[in-house]
Amino acid sequence: MFDYAFPNLRDLLEDAELPVREAAAWAFQRLSINDDGCQRIVQSGCAEAMIDSFIKHSNEKNLQGHDAIYLIHLLEAFVNLTFSDMGI
């Protein structure tokens, strides 16, 4: 199941609809709370996609106020990932 879910969740980070991106970022934030979730995020390559998406949406040229919740969820996930043994 996880082999199917994580690539799809990773792809949703770049969805055209903001609520979809926010939901994906929220899911990663919630998954990153425990070590198993962190391990699955890292092993599936989602951490790199999260970083790329964060850079893209926080770029000074692309930065928009309505992306704030999305970016905060990603930042919270990054913080949780750094506490994990798998880390970024």
Q: How far apart are CA 55 and CA 37, in angstroms?
A: 22
Output the pLDDT for position 59. Answer: 83
- Which of 27, 29, 44, 47 is closest to 87 using CA atoms? 47
- For 24-68, what is each residue's pLDDT tens digit? 999 999 999 999 999 999 999 999 999 999 999 888 787 778 889
Nearest C-alpha neighbor of 84 from the set 42, 44, 51, 30? 42
User: How many angstroms separate the CA atoms of 55 and 21, rounded?
Assistant: 14
Measure the CA–CA gap between 41 and 49, rounded to whole angstroms. 10
pLDDT value of position 41: 93
